[in-house]
Structure 1
């Protein structure tokens, strides 16, 4: 009997101990059960990474950070990238992350429509990369970007942003707003991003002034961007002749200009300036360019210095007398992509120069050019 009582007592102690002892954790992460459904991992250098892709509601994300004790609050990454979105997870509220900081944040494939101003306040001194892409985002505190001391890349593609205040940041080098329809730019939109190098504005439904319509992109939008090297405006609704001072950074820094997939018919001689004099590329593929008149295109060509640096493929080029100056100047012709074809299918590079001499005593351009 004594032996039995002793055994029961010992077993009871073991059960109690199992219940009351702290849950194990993988140092330096928090207790896994507290974080659930978020998951903490580390790398070989014990940097901390947090994946909250299995969060299903706004309140659940708040609860995780409220109940969890974080032995260390400085995380490298926060990832929220679910396999499927959840109807109750629509906001990142102020104070959600408590004192926890991040260097990189990825939020994608959710129904989040709002990130409140104070949601990332404790990451002002740490956040270097923020990507909030492929969501329903309508409200984001752009006005506070200047408070982020080391933010270099901001990717906000494929959301539903309906307003864009002037960007103010001394650290930002990359901005991607592609796929946000309905935004209107002003001459000051990017002027306060003093060190911006890359701007992505693809497939935003943007239009450009043709003299008789409301425009989403006025003159001089990029006129204050001293370091701009990469600009992609492909897949918008630019039509007719793109205007003077459309792309005109103040220094020769542009390595790439993307204007593919618009409805551009022609360029003004000063539409695109500020190209780097070494290796710059301009893409105008899949537009509606019909003629390449010297008066319009020569200044753009003169800024280019490498073969195949101007892409005019998939345009309905007539290849008439407007091109005689090109076929007679091999040094200029070679700057055009060597697979560029006329509407008839003939390669532009293969047109016979002597034929133009006989049939085009003077360059003639029928296009109604807007200058």
Structure 2
């Protein structure tokens, strides 16, 4: 911020004499006061929106600059790929932007290599459009600056996955709701959040995330997933959350979801067709962790499967399953701690809530 103050003051000294004398008086009168207030007055009266370029030079793109030193470029209204290349290929007084915004645009199909010219960005926000391809090299100018990439709700089927390792500070990648038909092999030493939801690639290789050691959140909901291989997540020592809801899973195999850190974990498997969960399907869980299995086809809660999970203090969400409530669940009903870890909406196939079942019946008849 100090550099910004100096920058504005220097600009002022280079302006007309009357303005300089007037503003110097302001600075002298308020030198012992709040410098931010003085800078705000100067910035408000100065005619150019530095560090942004002149409006006419970048139309229909719009540049904005805020008090947090964030300079954003909104090119949502560009009329063609050529126009975007012309605008971004022009000379900018300052080239390091915080965010590039292209939202709801029906003209940009390919983000070409070199289209961004010499500009760099921390955040890419290119969403709700018709973008199909991000060419290799299109984002290369931001290898060292990019922290977030949001490319969701487009039609992307080609993305420069081979370059992900070059983005030194990238921590968030949103590519949900595109047309990625094959699970990418992502390599990154910094990525923490990866969202690939609602892409039709169905098959998830066991090594899909083996080269993303810092990953904490993975979203794979609605991808048509039919099977989850054991060990898929085991190498991710920082993983905290996996969302695999709204898929076509029928079984959770042994070793399917393994954690190996002491954080708070959440696993979402709602709205699948799961009828079978193997012993040791879930391991490495801690107290206060949560497993969501709402709206599946579970009929049995086998003691050998679920007692080890409940003993770890994991909360289970099992609403919308056709559960049998005979003696096979006595180990839950007769253990108040276990029963307290079952979500209150969980019911038997006849609709009766587990929390309303009479323990005396299970004591007498089981």
Provide the TM-score with structure 1 as the length reference.
0.83
In structure 2, the residue matched to 1:40 is 63
Q: Which of these residues, 208, 218, 240, is aligned with residue 199 of structure 1?
A: 218
Output the CA distance in 1 between the equivalents of 2:345 and 2:202. 35
In structure 1, the residue matched to 2:233 is 222
Q: Which of these residues, 302, 308, 316, is aligned with residue 322 of structure 2?
A: 316
Instruction: Report if the CA contact (8 A) 1:143-1:165 is conserved.
Output: no
Q: Which of these residues, 126, 135, 160, is aligned with residue 107 of structure 1?
A: 126
In structure 1, the residue matched to 2:22 is none
Output the CA distance in 1 between the equivalents of 2:177 and 2:288. 30
SS at match of 2:328: helix
Q: Does 1:131 align with 2:150?
A: yes
In structure 2, the residue matched to 1:330 is 336
CA-CA distance at 1:252 after TM superposition: 4.2
Q: Which of these residues, 78, 81, 84, is aligned with residue 100 of structure 2?
A: 78
CA-CA distance at 1:107 after TM superposition: 0.8
SS at match of 1:322: helix
Q: Which of these residues, 254, 259, 264, is aligned with residue 274 of structure 2?
A: 264
CA-CA distance at 1:325 after TM superposition: 1.4
CA-CA distance at 1:329 after TM superposition: 1.1
Instruction: Report if the CA contact (8 A) 1:269-1:298 is conserved.
Output: no
Output the CA distance in 1 between the equivalents of 2:202 and 2:168. 26
CA-CA distance at 1:289 after TM superposition: 1.0
CA-CA distance at 1:254 after TM superposition: 5.0
Name the structure where helix makes up a greater proportion of residues. Answer: 2
Q: Which of these residues, 81, 84, 91, is aligned with residue 58 of structure 1?
A: 81
Which moves more between the two structures, 226-235 or 243-252? 243-252
| Cα deviation 1:98-152 (Å, max 9, x = unaligned) | 1100001111111100001100111000000001000000000111110001000
In structure 2, the residue matched to 1:291 is 300
In structure 1, the residue matched to 2:265 is 255
Instruction: Report if the CA contact (8 A) 2:183-2:205 is conserved.
Output: no
SS at match of 1:61: helix
SS at match of 2:231: coil
| Cα deviation 1:232-280 (Å, max 9, x = unaligned) | 11111111x31011111333445111111111113112111122x2321
Q: Which of these residues, 176, 195, 204, is aligned with residue 176 of structure 1?
A: 195
Instruction: Report if the CA contact (8 A) 2:112-2:134 is conserved.
Output: yes
In structure 2, the residue matched to 1:234 is 245
CA RMSD of aligned residues (A): 1.5
CA-CA distance at 1:162 after TM superposition: 1.8
| Cα deviation 1:205-229 (Å, max 9, x = unaligned) | 1011xxxxxxxx3221111000000
Q: Structure 1 pair 199/98, CA: closer, same or farther in 2 (3 Å)?
A: same
Q: How many residues align?
A: 320
Output the CA distance in 1 between the equivalents of 2:199 and 2:139. 22
Extract unaligned runs of 5+ from structure 1: 1-23, 209-216, 361-371
Extract unaligned runs of 5+ from structure 2: 1-46
Q: Does 1:153 align with 2:172?
A: yes
Instruction: Report if the CA contact (8 A) 1:228-1:254 is conserved.
Output: no
Q: Does 1:97 align with 2:116?
A: yes
In structure 1, the residue matched to 2:29 is none
In structure 1, the residue matched to 2:313 is 304
CA-CA distance at 1:303 after TM superposition: 2.3
